[in-house]
Structure 1
């Protein structure tokens, strides 16, 4: 063995010397080329290169200054590394890469460039440990076959040192374990491993013609067996192009391929065929190939091979490293299935490095550390890193604190009255409350824990484990003062705590307070109190409980009755408004009929007079009626035309509805003329609207409200025809000085309804006057927020938004009744702040509601449809043009609307129902221009009479 080992070392030294000679010759040729090229360069080229160097140096300094301000600028790191590499500043380049790797995991390309540069820098150094350490760091960020291959090839250069061959084999073994199952790139690692072993085989083979010794033969057989084993292991793994490997093994093996190896190869070939479609879809897909990888992972999960599941996850994460859901699925699989400590913890560590903003990954990491017995300091350090990760929601901080508090609670031995762990737990609870109050509320404008879950858990721990009810009661009192006293479930939680660990006195006290404070489910709280007194209380306690519950419920019922009455009034008012609109529409329609009838009567009378004149001129016979000297010729018009002298006259009185409409219109005009003020002075007047229809004595109530603004000359409320108040009025002051004070009362509530106060303007004289005072075009410095909870106030929204810039105005959008719509506009000082707010706030949760945020771009108000507006002629439909007499009665279509639909062309019906014939005729009545022609009355009659 010693002789063979010496021979092996001698052969390796010869190989290294030969490689060194080749490198020296290549370096000499490179130097000659550089000298020749340097002689040809001109002075102009040197000047240009010096200018470029100065510009690059200035850019390098700028990037370094920017990183000193914001070290987490990923793109800035990448740009700096590219410039330093271009300038050949390898020492500064090493420092830049080091800083970047401390903050971010590096991609495969960055690592390979770094490793190659470090290999060149350490060629003359006696030890290679620095490069080995760098390779170890590179293999931990992502599973990359190219990095492992480079690592193994670099280790071959040091196999001449003691233990060098064993180190190379160890690295190759780790490489095939890590990436040997990679369907497309794993084969290169296997082949490199076999080439290395074949090189070793050439060193132990005896020269031709010499019989090897016993030790040399044993060494030769051992090396041959290593190569056989590598072939068998590789052929048992499903890889692309594995057929070529099998053919190579057949050619290399003198005894042929063993039956067991052939069987394993066929089985692996079948597995490769199953996965071939997934590999092909990955090959043609565009990055990041998330859907294709997800389908591949689902397939491997069904197959159930842990090694293949792991390599598929690793391949997906190398291209989708910023997808938190993919990391979460991978870590959950490792936690529940493999449970290998080093693999699990390293995966969790890589997950939070890639997606530090995801709270769930940090929470899983802390649980994994505890699960695998990590020391307390390590868990604490990871928790502190999580707090500084910069989560995007306030609730994320509550959850991460809960995870840490759960971990600390499980460390405490509560059998001891006091311990270091218990004090640490209480200190952590106290710190978490301070953190929520100071850091989280200042950043997000909300606590993130409105139900005080952390304090509830602390109170239960004090009551259950520490038997300290006094501390638990103090905590619950603090919970109730944070806006939770109105919720029945919070009081019942407190009651259950007292019931389990307290005493009846405090139980009764808690329930009495609950009866007085609860507003959401008071009946339930009252029932619990009465049930408690039935079981535990005396007669006096029962009487007190009954009295308190009855008083409380009566007050609640009164409030609910008032609210129901208010809602009923609003509904009735809405019905009255609908009915009034319907009636007004009917009145207008009737007036139009009357006017049309009057015009038709005048026209008919004029025609009749003309006809009579013509008849008299022709000396037609006359009919005498009454006195003989008063002759009146009467010719009656019927539905079929003019009749003779013996025909009876036809008298048609006006319809009663026309008479009523005329009378109503006259009465309305008379009332309006009576109600009209004698003098109108808009400069001294204001218009009041949005008042309740049920407002009693509006004049006296408004006088009391507006007398503070100045002397009032007249208050004119507007009433309907039935005498009902219409919800608006005019107020005229004696002086225009009083108007600004009156306008300040805008939106003040009158009997629970906001009153609108606006200037009194005659729009006939001022057509350009616009009541709508907000912009309707894009406002880049203003954001629009939707999905807000109805309980959100202006102050709360301002607290949420102020961390993103200087706020100039916050406006909540409400209905006319004053109820919020869940919409708001927030105006910032400039466009940049508004854009930042959109990026950070869109999708944020506010009191459980997910809000949407966008740059303000309100739609145009449809002012053109209102009376008096000037609609552009291009937007108007052309009016139908009729003859000089207008549209007569005989031009009305008698065809029902339901039968006027067009049918498909070519559907001609010879024999069929009336409806079918109508549709056929309608399909035929199409003009050459493709426009449908209406059916005439004659067409309709012909269709009906056609059997």
Structure 2
């Protein structure tokens, strides 16, 4: 073997030297032809060779770090084949084939290269071995056809013809049912037998001997049999095969063969739609293959089910779910050892990161009686496969420990298998501590499940309660002593296999240590003493539980008080900030009013016998208006622009045409306030629309057009500011509650370049804990988070990239409120395994010159502060601050002078029951300056005094 290997290496080196000589001759020919740029071309060629060599070395170093980098293997093989590095190329292919099944293209390239290298007869066996490896990876008709054709070249050797026929028969068994490509193998087999027929036919004019006639008849029967077998199988274009048989057969087609052909033709017609859908579908064709497999599973033909699965896996070899379905079918239905185990082996080689496939493989090995060493080797490979979650290592260890436990005969006090089981438990704990926690920065087994199982085995099977107690002591020291359920699990173990003394000790320790449900643990202790304990034990238990619960209640009260104080301090600071901000705004607006003139509104009674002051103050500077009011002018006030106003007696229309009365102004303000106040009417029939553009024209009409598709509308209520500008949100009320779910589906739809937010219409005064954020904020193992995306990347482009790694259910690009992209996205796959595969393959990928990062979706927890009115336990103890329907809104400043501000508190009652007004200059409980009690309308001089009052 060593000599053969050395000879092959020498041959490879010679071929590499020949390739180098050919390149030199080509360059010499170029110089002889007078090529002017020959030197430049040589320089460019040498530069390319240096770059390629550097890239080859980089890829080899990367593989030495991570041997499971599939794409790195492929790139290295391409470069080595391009450079003609035949020896290194063979070694690279061998390394890759040890870790992964190779695709049909890689195998065909490798086989063709090896066939050229082994033209001599003694080396044909090496190519045969390579073909045997190739046909085991995937069911590929082209590889089987190449194998058969290569074997025909060696049919001159002893037993060569029988070897060719054996390979053809195996090919028919493997791919003969392939509806689109199986026909080529059948035809190649018939052509070979027809060629063999010509060798046994006697020359024309000579009568064959008896032996020659027997050989001739045997060969003819072989061809007849091939036709009959093929016509009984549903294949595409089988009509041409039937016509060929009619022409070839001298006696015509027998009735039985014709009947079988018609039945197969009907089966082909039933499957033709599935085959056509596969031809036109784009990769990975998962939906089409799934429909095809469902049909074959319903038909129940094991051979056709197997070939359909194999075809699907040849195109979707990196889809763990497909392997799971196939191996599950083989485990439960066919149960053929060689087929089952080979399929499990191919599954874990294609998807080594999927723990479920390794677990199924271990169970299949045990089920079919594999040797212990074989199962242990497979388990060691699983540990090195590189799972993406810490919990996966816990699961695979549990599967292996279950297998080891089933090997132990517990009727013996000691055995080799029992010692191996205990050693494996110890190793698993060490592995989880050193390898898993260091890699993932978290414990894959926080509840110490493995240790709990070990303790139960020691207690139940080995009757070793001392070891079980040691294990539970270790469990409690790992941060589990504060949980009541852990103590109760330990108590149940002692209750079943221990003694009352240790039960009592466990419960006493539980009472002292439990933090989450101490009341429950105390109750269990008291119930235990009712059944098992003496009066002294009962007294001790009562005293201990009372002491513990009193201490717990004191701690809870202190914690509640502390949190209440913190919350109160925060409220006080916030209130101080609001007051300071309000005073600052009042000062700014007061100064602005003094410079540019203020508007003020008076009571309706003031306008029955006084000037139309609102109109006057709108047109004149403040000082001039005051002078006019103070001058006592009875009828008209004239300025440079003419008539401005007149005194209006009671019962007459105030002011000139176009002037607003106070009643009209207040009515308009009230209407604006009513529109601005989001009082919810028929919440169950309404939705809230937000994030609309402030510049949206005719928002009511556009929203009505958009939401009419969801059902009959009762009202569309856009919200405007006091200035009449659209605020960017509105309410839509439907006639029926059934329209609301349809409207919510329009969430995030773009309206004039901005994503429109549609949420349920809920009054947060009555539902303070309502959250409209609809996306999950916890870990979602079937969803990936992509960052670093180019801003120009569309949803369709990202979906196309992700389709190569599984079934994409949803793609969500994260945007700002304006609709501009953030370069982030969430992609939801059909299951966890596909998402894990996408993380492995896409992390670090370059997309439009941007290197993207990919991880399992695990959004950080929101640090939400409790709002007033929430259901939190701490805030329930605090006095609740009353807010409006929109919560804590921004400060609203009045445009009236401070002296005209109305009191915010309720009107004081006079002795006679009539409402009186506070005395001017005084400050009420709300901090507002009041008016003196009035019984008659104010005069012009009164208004002047109030306006000039500081």
TM-score (norm 1): 0.60
Is 2:356 the partner of 1:360? Answer: yes
How far did 1:199 drift? Answer: 1.2
Q: Which residue of 1 aligns with 2:934?
A: none
Q: Which residue of 2 aligns with 1:42?
A: 33
Q: How does 1:23-42 map to 2 (within 5 A)?
A: 42=33
Corresponding residue SS for 2:122: coil
Q: Which residue of 2 aligns with 1:595?
A: 600
Q: Which residue of 1 aligns with 2:510?
A: 514
Q: Structure 1 CA distance, aligned partners of 2:522 and 2:466? A: 26
Closer, same or farther in 2 for the Cα pair 1:280/1:478, shift >3 Å?
same
Q: Which residue of 1 aligns with 2:628?
A: 606
Q: Which residue of 2 aligns with 1:406?
A: 402
How far did 1:229 drift? Answer: 1.4
Structure 1, residues 305-347: CA drift from partner, whole Å, max 9, x if none? Answer: 2111111111111111111111121111111111111111111
Q: Structure 2 CA distance, aligned partners of 1:472 and 1:642? A: 97
Q: Which has the higher contact order (CA 8 A, sep 6+)?
A: 2
How far did 1:440 drift? Answer: 0.9
Q: Structure 1 CA distance, aligned partners of 2:654 and 2:852? A: 79
How far did 1:420 drift? Answer: 1.3
Residue among 818, 838, 857 paired with 1:843: 857
Q: Structure 1 CA distance, aligned partners of 2:367 and 2:857? A: 34
Is 2:366 the partner of 1:370? Answer: yes
Q: Which residue of 2 aligns with 1:112?
A: 108
Contact 2:141 2:182 in 1 (8 A): yes
Closer, same or farther in 2 for the Cα pair 1:519/1:497, shift >3 Å?
same
Is 2:660 the partner of 1:638? Answer: no
Residue among 234, 240, 245 paired with 1:244: 240
Q: Structure 2 CA distance, aligned partners of 1:41 and 1:453? A: 79
How far did 1:427 drift? Answer: 1.0
Q: Which residue of 1 aligns with 2:420?
A: 424
Contact 1:485 1:518 in 2 (8 A): yes
Q: Which residue of 2 aligns with 1:216?
A: 212
Is 2:294 the partner of 1:282? Answer: no
Q: Which residue of 1 aligns with 2:331?
A: 335
Corresponding residue SS for 2:857: coil
Corresponding residue SS for 1:466: coil
Q: Which residue of 1 aligns with 2:465?
A: 469
Is 2:50 the partner of 1:54? Answer: no
Corresponding residue SS for 2:183: helix
Corresponding residue SS for 1:545: helix
Corresponding residue SS for 1:115: helix
How far did 1:635 drift? Answer: 7.7
How far did 1:200 drift? Answer: 1.3
Q: Structure 1 CA distance, aligned partners of 2:857 and 2:308? A: 32
Is 2:464 the partner of 1:436? Answer: no
Corresponding residue SS for 2:102: coil
How far did 1:53 drift? Answer: 5.0
Q: Which residue of 2 aligns with 1:65?
A: 57
Closer, same or farther in 2 for the Cα pair 1:614/1:357, shift >3 Å?
closer
Closer, same or farther in 2 for the Cα pair 1:98/1:364, shift >3 Å?
same
Q: Which residue of 1 aligns with 2:538?
A: 542
Q: Structure 2 CA distance, aligned partners of 1:116 and 1:379? A: 36
Corresponding residue SS for 2:342: helix
Q: Which residue of 1 aligns with 2:524?
A: 528
Closer, same or farther in 2 for the Cα pair 1:477/1:79, shift >3 Å?
closer
How far did 1:159 drift? Answer: 1.3
Closer, same or farther in 2 for the Cα pair 1:38/1:493, shift >3 Å?
same
Q: Structure 2 CA distance, aligned partners of 1:65 and 1:642? A: 96
Closer, same or farther in 2 for the Cα pair 1:609/1:840, shift >3 Å?
closer
Closer, same or farther in 2 for the Cα pair 1:269/1:377, shift >3 Å?
same
Contact 1:491 1:511 in 2 (8 A): yes
Residue among 166, 178, 183 paired with 1:182: 178
Corresponding residue SS for 1:842: strand
Closer, same or farther in 2 for the Cα pair 1:605/1:455, shift >3 Å?
same
Structure 1, residues 818-840: CA drift from partner, whole Å, max 9, x if none? Answer: xxxxxxxxxxxxx9999999846
Residue among 454, 457, 464 paired with 2:453: 457
Q: How does 1:800-811 map to 2 (within 5 A)?
A: none
Contact 1:278 1:296 in 2 (8 A): yes
Contact 1:60 1:80 in 2 (8 A): no
How far did 1:81 drift? Answer: 3.1
Contact 1:63 1:76 in 2 (8 A): no
Residue among 161, 164, 173 paired with 1:168: 164
How far did 1:99 drift? Answer: 2.8
How far did 1:249 drift? Answer: 1.1
Q: Structure 1 CA distance, aligned partners of 2:351 and 2:648? A: 96
Closer, same or farther in 2 for the Cα pair 1:106/1:834, shift >3 Å?
closer
Contact 2:135 2:144 in 1 (8 A): yes
How far did 1:549 drift? Answer: 2.1
Residue among 95, 98, 120 paired with 1:99: 95
Corresponding residue SS for 2:602: helix
Greater Cα radius of gyration, structure 1 or 2: 1
Q: Which residue of 2 aligns with 1:768?
A: none
Structure 1, residues 188-220: CA drift from partner, whole Å, max 9, x if none? Answer: 001111111111112122222333222222222
Contact 1:393 1:844 in 2 (8 A): no
Q: Note the aligned Cα RMSD (angstroms).
A: 4.3
Q: Which residue of 2 aligns with 1:761?
A: none
How far did 1:106 drift? Answer: 1.7
How far did 1:41 drift? Answer: 6.5
Runs of 4+, deviation exceeding 6 Å: 37-41, 564-582, 584-588, 590-594, 831-838, 865-868
Q: How many pairs are equivalent?
A: 622
Closer, same or farther in 2 for the Cα pair 1:389/1:840, shift >3 Å?
farther
Closer, same or farther in 2 for the Cα pair 1:384/1:613, shift >3 Å?
closer
- Structure 1 residues without counterparts, runs of 5 or longer: 1-30, 616-633, 644-651, 656-784, 790-830, 850-864, 869-947
Closer, same or farther in 2 for the Cα pair 1:95/1:570, shift >3 Å?
closer
Residue among 393, 396, 407 paired with 1:397: 393
Structure 1, residues 396-437: CA drift from partner, whole Å, max 9, x if none? Answer: 111111111111111111111111111111111111111111
Q: Structure 2 CA distance, aligned partners of 1:242 and 1:313? A: 23
Q: How does 1:761-776 map to 2 (within 5 A)?
A: none
Closer, same or farther in 2 for the Cα pair 1:38/1:269, shift >3 Å?
farther
How far did 1:502 drift? Answer: 0.7
Q: Structure 1 CA distance, aligned partners of 2:427 and 2:235? A: 55
Q: Structure 2 CA distance, aligned partners of 1:435 and 1:377? A: 20
Contact 1:469 1:501 in 2 (8 A): yes
- Structure 2 residues without counterparts, runs of 5 or longer: 1-21, 604-612, 618-624, 638-645, 656-662, 667-774, 780-842, 864-888, 893-950
Structure 1, residues 616-669: CA drift from partner, whole Å, max 9, x if none? Answer: xxxxxxxxxxxxxxxxxx9872131599xxxxxxxx9xx9xxxxxxxxxxxxxx
Q: How does 1:746-761 map to 2 (within 5 A)?
A: none
Closer, same or farther in 2 for the Cα pair 1:53/1:123, shift >3 Å?
farther
How far did 1:609 drift? Answer: 5.4
Closer, same or farther in 2 for the Cα pair 1:82/1:68, shift >3 Å?
closer
